[in-house]
Amino acid sequence: MKTPAKISRIPLSRQIKDYILHGISSGDLSPGDKIPSEAELARHFSASRMTVNRAVSELTVEGRLNRVQGLGTFVAEFKPLAPLFEIRSIAQEITEQGKAHSSIVLEALRGPADKREAGRLEVPEGTEIFKLQVLHLSDERPIQLEVRLVVPKFAPLFLEQDFTQVTPSDYLQKHVMFSEVEHKVDAVSAGPEIGRLLEIDENAPCLRLVRRTWLGAEIITYVQLIHPGEAFRFTGRFSGPQAVRDIPC
Amino acid sequence: MKTPAKISRIPLSRQIKDYILHGISSGDLSPGDKIPSEAELARHFSASRMTVNRAVSELTVEGRLNRVQGLGTFVAEFKPLAPLFEIRSIAQEITEQGKAHSSIVLEALRGPADKREAGRLEVPEGTEIFKLQVLHLSDERPIQLEVRLVVPKFAPLFLEQDFTQVTPSDYLQKHVMFSEVEHKVDAVSAGPEIGRLLEIDENAPCLRLVRRTWLGAEIITYVQLIHPGEAFRFTGRFSGPQAVRDIPC
DNA sequence: TTGCATTGATTGTATATACCAGCATAGACT
DNA sequence: AGTCTATGCTGGTATATACAATCAATGCAA
């Protein structure tokens, strides 16, 4: 059963992953469903069982499948975790609420990048931090975003009038990865300056998010919800039990 | 070089992972350092290169290493992500600020669990939701936690007077996994009731967290920071570029 | 000096095989 | 009816091997 040594442009294990993911997104496979066994998939793709094993294992780590020894592999309940960590989650949330919005760049400063990331990630020569002052406007109330950004590659994405349609693909095409983000959240009174920008009382409660990425990018966001009482929705996921071992919570 | 087929109690790939992780935690390996090549590790452990490859690949997925084809494998900057998603992150944060604190269970109600998780996770018969009213006390100011919890297994952990020392290991020993958590965050005025409990002005800005886990557990937390201006610190991580593909952010 | 091809080290992918371990079912035995 | 055992399916782990792809460094040629 020796398949020719020539490998196609995209790895076989990747194709198998895509096949399963397509089955899930198309609705052929629903959460809780049992997917074909490794042996069946190997036959279907003329692949070795180890290759299938690797593809399925990776999908398990990524939270798309649950494997049970002796029983089979099942489609997991999946909630994407991207919106939590991304720059645009606030605008996204507003969009889902059906509110029109647009954004304006108020200010753009630049400075040197923080420092080189371990293990040679994508940090080109002369990398700089961009610090953007962005006024984000909904149809009901303006939302002020102070955005300090990173890497020249990013800038074009954010210097457009309306960046509400930017997706991670756009970042990835520019070889930018959001691998880690540190978050800080607290509630503060708006204060006179923010209050004026957001057109709210300076004593009104206001959500402040500070997000720091792996390159030293810092994103400070002040938010006053359009409809008080509604909340932003975040989703997170553990990578696995080992990752949280013995960390107090 | 055929090693006996008998496998030891813990998998070889696990031993290799532990070896590398120990090197990192002991300080022998620092972020940015190059770890031994797969061939060297294979020789050191009398293992096949594939086994080493698997161990190293998993550590890469878990965010501990960065691999570069043609160059080597490097220790990554690592920030654990557990605190973000855990029930006790607030108390933890306070602890790190050096404030003493304790907690009291005010109330405990119970109701049926939400529904069964896909792919047969740990949901025993007669599972119920526990709804706990917890008053969390720091030495400076009480913090009120309304905790709605899940699964009888959990309850003992939270019915103690002080649960500040509970770690994920304790959950895992009871076969409970925090695989997914949905977060909602907003800022509200304390209001008369919360204001009285937290001993703050009823107009003071107050952080409200709603966390919903995969079993339908819902954790509602009202927090007033001890030192206004300080923020809670969270850390998150993507599982990989593929996971965020084409999700607007 | 500049540019290009070669080489060696290292990771990336894939195969074929082997045996272990967990689970459910069917059948034999009591 | 109840219990034990054998069997087959499933995933879990490991090996030995092979070749591709990428990168840095080296050496050679223009």
**Interface confidence (ipTM) of the complex:** 0.56
CB burial of residue A60 (10 Å; 0-12, 13-18, 19+): middle
Question: In this structure, which topology does domain A82-223 adopt according to CATH?
Answer: Chorismate lyase (3.40.1410)
Question: If you average pLDDT over every residue of chain A, what do you get?
Answer: 55
Chains A & B: contacts with CB separation below 8 Å: 267
Show Cβ contacts of residue A170 under 8 Å, excluding neighbours closer than 6 positions: A157
Write out pLDDT tens, residues B137-195: 444 444 443 333 333 334 444 444 333 344 433 443 333 333 334 445 556 676 676 56
Residue A86 has pLDDT above 60, yes or no: no
Spatial distance from the CA of B131 to the C1' of C18 (Å)? 51
Contact between B185 and A66 using a beta-carbon 8 Å cutoff: no
- How far is Cα B72 from Cα B36, in angstroms, rounded to an integer? 8
Provide the token pair at A106: 């108020």
> Which nucleotides along chain C are within 7 A of a protein C-beta?
8-24
- Which of A78, A175, A212, A249 to probe the B interface (max B CBs under 10 A)? A249
Provide the token pair at A188: 């503060």
**Residue-range domain boundaries for chain A:** 12-75, 82-223
- By C-alpha distance, the chain B residue nearest A234 is B183
Write out pLDDT tens, residues B233-244: 333 333 332 222
The answer to whether strand D lies under 7 Å from the CB of residue A61 is no
Which nucleotide is closest, CA of A5 to its C1'? Answer: D19
Residues of A (36-75) whose Cβ lies below 8 Å from B: 58, 61-63, 65-66, 68, 71, 74-75
Spatial distance from the CA of B149 to the C1' of D19 (Å)? 54
Q: Given 3.40.50.980, 3.30.200.20, 1.10.600.10, 1.10.10.10, which CATH number is that of A12-75?
A: 1.10.10.10
pTM over 0.80: no
Selecting from B85, B205, B233 the residue whose C-beta is nearest the C-beta of A189 gives: B205
Give the model's pLDDT for residue A29. 93
DSSP state letters, B139-153? SSSEEEEEEEEEHHH
Write out pLDDT tens, residues A46-80: 999 999 999 999 888 776 888 888 999 999 876 54
Chain A residues whose CB is inside 8 A of the B177 CB are: 238, 241
Residue A202 has pLDDT above 60, yes or no: yes
Tens digit of pLDDT at every position of chain B (249 positions): 333 333 347 889 989 998 999 999 888 999 889 999 999 999 999 999 999 999 999 888 777 888 889 999 999 876 543 333 333 444 444 444 444 333 333 333 334 333 333 232 333 343 333 333 344 444 444 444 333 333 333 444 444 433 334 443 344 333 333 333 444 555 667 667 656 655 667 777 666 655 544 334 444 445 554 444 444 433 333 333 222 222 222
Q: Are strands B142-150 and B72-75 parallel, antiparallel or unpaired?
A: unpaired
Give the model's pLDDT for residue A200. 64
Q: Is A10 helix (H, G, I), strand (E, B) or coil?
A: coil
- How far is Cα B92 from Cα B165, in angstroms, rounded to an integer? 9
- How far is Cα B187 from Cα A230, in angstroms, rounded to an integer? 10
